[in-house]
Amino acid sequence: MNTKTAFGIIKKLDDASMEALDSAFVRFLFMAGLIEGDAEELARAEQDKIDYAPFLPEKDENGEVVIKDEATKFLNAITGIDMETCEAWEVYDLYVTNGLSFD
């Protein structure tokens, strides 16, 4: 998805949807082992690995996590928000995380 499309989708979201996507994406990052947290967050990540095993990303030959469409599918499963919006969230999060302008 290109950034123009993604930004157009994200700008239409209400605060509750933004919060839900943010929370679900953080859960995905914990489940994928890309971020660390406290005992409660790690316990939830372990349960998510069981409950959402099909959405757990694979690792390449160097042991690096390779995310294809697993995050989008996980966000959809957790939030119930449509796949296109979940995909747009990934683009949005990439920009925000790296300090790029969203506006």
pLDDT at 23 over 90: yes
- Three-state secondary structure string covering 11-68: HCCCHHHHHHHHHHHHHHHHHCCCCCCCHHHHHHHHHHHHHCHHHCCEECCCCCEECC
Domain boundaries, the chain: 3-97
pLDDT at 102 over 70: no
Q: Average pLDDT over the chain, rounded to whole?
A: 91
| Percent of the chain topping pLDDT 90 | 70
Structure confidence by residue, pLDDT tens digits, 36-91? 889 999 999 999 999 999 999 999 999 898 888 999 999 999 999 999 999 999 88
So what's the pLDDT on residue 93?
84
pLDDT band at 9 (very low <50, low <70, confident <90, very high): very high
